[in-house]
Structure formats: C-alpha cells, structure tokens
Amino acid sequence: GNQPRVEVNVLLLGAHSVGKSALTVRFLTRRFIGEYGDIESVYSRVDRIDAQDVCFNVWDSPYTQDDGKSLSLPDKQLQWADGIVLVYSICDRRSFHVVRQQLQLIRRSRKPSSVPVVVVGNKLDLHCHRSVSSEEGRLLALSQHCGFYEVSAAETYEDVLLVFQRLVHLIRESRALR
C-alpha cells in the first residue's frame, strides 16, 4: 500500500574538490556540468522509493577544512542530518584521510552517533590515477557500519542514485530501531 511521504535530510561532507557538488547536481538534475561554485545551499527532490515518496533535502556543504589538524564539524549540520554522504576522490589519498577523520568525529560527537553514513569514492572514471584501492574504502566503511560505493559523478547517474537510495534504506532501518 501507499505510505505517507517522508523527509530525509542528507548532508554531503568531504575534502575540497572531491565532487560533492557534482554528486549533488547529478542526483538532483541527472546532469554533470563540470564546474561548480562554492555556494552553500539546501536542495530538494522528491523520489519514489519502495512505494513511498521520499523528499530529499540535500545540503551540499562547501565546508572545507582540509589541513587535518583543526578538523571539526559544525554541530548545526550534524544535528540537521538524518544521513550523511562522506565523499573522497579515489585519486586523492589526502581526501580519503579526511573522510576517515570526519567519520571519527561523526561517531564521537553526535547523539545518537549511529547516524547512517554512506562512504563514496568518487571519480571512478579516473581509475588510471587511482591512489585509494577499493578494498581500503570498503574496509573503512564496513568497520564503521557504513554503506560503500565507488562512483563517477561525471559518467554515471545510476550509481549516484544507488548511493542516495542506500542511505534511505539505512535511515529507515535506524528509525525502525528507535
């Protein structure tokens, strides 16, 4: 039967230039436009997932504190989020470490710290320049009970869609447990 519409707040985090905006725009418009500003904004899209209308509110954060030492996450963003997409580039090891650190901060700082997270290795089309193996990405995600995907925001809409659908499934599970 039909279930009532739900809202899910999705926060994108990760280092600068890993493709957070590209993923957001790909998800919302199915397009890849190549260059994105650093505008901070929340975008919405309604999608039908498993016979239920899901209203996605996507916060594409330009927040970037890449130096690792002073890494922190605004509490406001974490409190807002029902689920988080943590993005790195498979060609950029430093961005993988940023994800590792942000994951630790999320698990430590938020209550409940079990907020659903999907880890995404982006820029799969540039696999010839790969510096983070699939295995490393998957292990990090599994060790923290996160979903894991490698995608190309530049080339594949379907894989990007899977990321957001998986996040909805994880959010549903976590809500059912409450």
- Which one, 54 or 96, has the nearer CB to ligand GDP? 96
The distance of closest approach from Cβ of residue 35 to Mg ion in the complex, given in angstroms and rounded to an integer, is 10
Task: For residue 108, give both structure tokens.
Answer: 């430590």
| Residue 162 makes contact with ligand GDP by CB under 6 A | no
Q: Angle CA(149)–CA(76)–CA(86) in degrees, nearest 5?
A: 10
- Which one, 19 or 54, has the nearer CB to ligand GDP? 19
| Residue 21 makes contact with Mg ion by CB under 5 A | yes
Site stretch for ligand GDP (CB under 6 A), options 13-21, 47-55, 73-81, 159-167: 13-21
Strand order, beta sheet including 41-49: 41-49, 52-60, 3-14, 83-89, 117-122, 147-150
CA distance 114 to 59: 19
**From 6, 71, 105, 126, residue interacting with ligand GDP (rule: CB under 6 A):** 126
| Residue 95 makes contact with Mg ion by CB under 5 A | no
**From the list Mg ion, ligand GDP, none, partner contacted by residue 19 (C-beta under 5 to 8 A by kind):** ligand GDP
**From 53, 125, 136, 159, residue interacting with ligand GDP (rule: CB under 6 A):** 125
List, in order, residues 6 or more apart from 110 with CB less than 8 Å away. 78, 79
List, in order, residues 6 or more apart from 139 with CB less than 8 Å away. none
**From 35, 67, 135, 158, residue interacting with ligand GDP (rule: CB under 6 A):** 35
CB 14, CB 20: distance < 8 Å: yes
Residues in contact with ligand GDP by CB under 6 A are 16-22, 34-36, 122-123, 125-126, 152-154
